Amino acid sequence: MGADGDLLRSAARTRRRAKLHLCDGRLDQFGAEDREARQAAEHASITHRHRAVATGGAVRWEPSLLFRPSTGGGDRHTRYATEGGPSLTPLDPMTSRRPAAEAASGYDAGAFSHHMTGEQGRLRALEKLWDPFTEHSLRRAGVPAAARCLEVGAGAGSVARMLARICPGGHVTATDIDTRFFAELAAEERVTVLSHDVTQDGFPAGSFEVVHARMVLCHLSCPEQVLAAMSQWLVPGGLLLVEDFDLAPADASPHPVMRRGLHVAEQTLEASQGSDLRLGRRLQALVTDAGFDLGGMAVQPVLIGDGGPADEFWRLSFAQLHEFQARNSSPLAGELDAAMSLIDRPDFTDIGMHAVSVWGRKPGGPLSDPSA
């Protein structure tokens, strides 16, 4: 891939070094830059809509009040609680006992940012590709009908809708750093839409019976720390289900053009926003290392070129990555174009990746007993 490929790999190595320093909690040049970015972000106009309503000892979150972080002195975090209900407690990453994870601004400025043209369509294509697999895994894992569910990184909102359907007596809190693509869900009776950065904002301990995140951990610098936080938000015996890609099959592709295109896609996302598209391979270890009792794991090969939903997902993904590369006048955009054109050839079919789903229970409590 020449000089541009070398630059991508160099940038990716720099981001990996930055991740190691941030995960270890060390303040060096990377930590200082991260801190400056966070301090600047404190003055941004970030809106949280939530209302804690206590009903029969349970707490459900409804869209109601408008809170903005302070732009002056004092604590920038806003806390609200009703009588008998816990408060929403955003975490200050610089003072929390957990080392700071990378700011969400890295993803927000990357090739798959919500600001990129076509991102909503790409997310919709991802839903068509992955939703059947997600619903199958949720039902296998066993989601209580009256569960309080947290959907982290809700994207375009389909899994939040799915959880509301699976839990007819429960409540769903759908979160993302940018809620524009599912904001209409706030009008639903049992769904709350919340602007929330999983690396900075927290919930009270024991707020949920179910936490789900799809294609979230792969975009974070320290997924271990986020899983630890999710464990705190769950009740004892609560269910965690996380899903991610494993792009390893691309290495063995018999089609050199697609192999190069997928590798350029991987390196572009790693360099621009720190994404790890092979995290799915170690997802089970991350869940068990976080202290969860493993409930199960499912893996689905994802074909490209068979006319299925993956074709549209990769067409839109390659097009968006091409746009990102073209902004920098990179010749690597041609590699993405070549891979995209291969998808529609009648003699082409390939296994591009694996979709991986892993679920487990927080130890303790009746929900951790499969026979309960």
Per-residue pLDDT tens over the stretch 138-196: 999 999 999 999 999 999 999 999 999 999 999 999 999 999 999 999 999 999 999 99
- Quick one: pLDDT at residue 40? 35
Alpha-carbon dihedral of residues 94, 95, 100, 102, nearest 10 degrees?
-40
DSSP 75-111: --------TT-PPP----TTTSSSPPPPPTHHHHTST
Place of tokens 């024991």: 206
Tokens of 262: 């997928």
Alpha-carbon dihedral of residues 123, 126, 127, 132, nearest 10 degrees?
-170
- Confidence band of 333 (pLDDT split at 50, 70, 90): confident
Integer CA distances (angstroms), 23 to 16, 223, 225, 230, 286, in order: 10, 9, 8, 17, 14
Per-residue pLDDT tens over the stretch 78-92: 222 222 223 444 443
Measured CA angle at 118 (ends 117, 121), to 5 deg? 160
The fold for domain 102-368 equals Rossmann fold (3.40.50)
- Confidence band of 207 (pLDDT split at 50, 70, 90): very high
**Contact indicator for 268, 339 with CB cutoff of 8 Å:** no
**Contact indicator for 246, 353 with CB cutoff of 8 Å:** yes
Return d(Cα 246, Cα 353) in angstroms, integer. Answer: 6
Q: Is 142 exposed, middle or buried (0-12, 13-18, 19+ CB in 10 A)?
A: middle
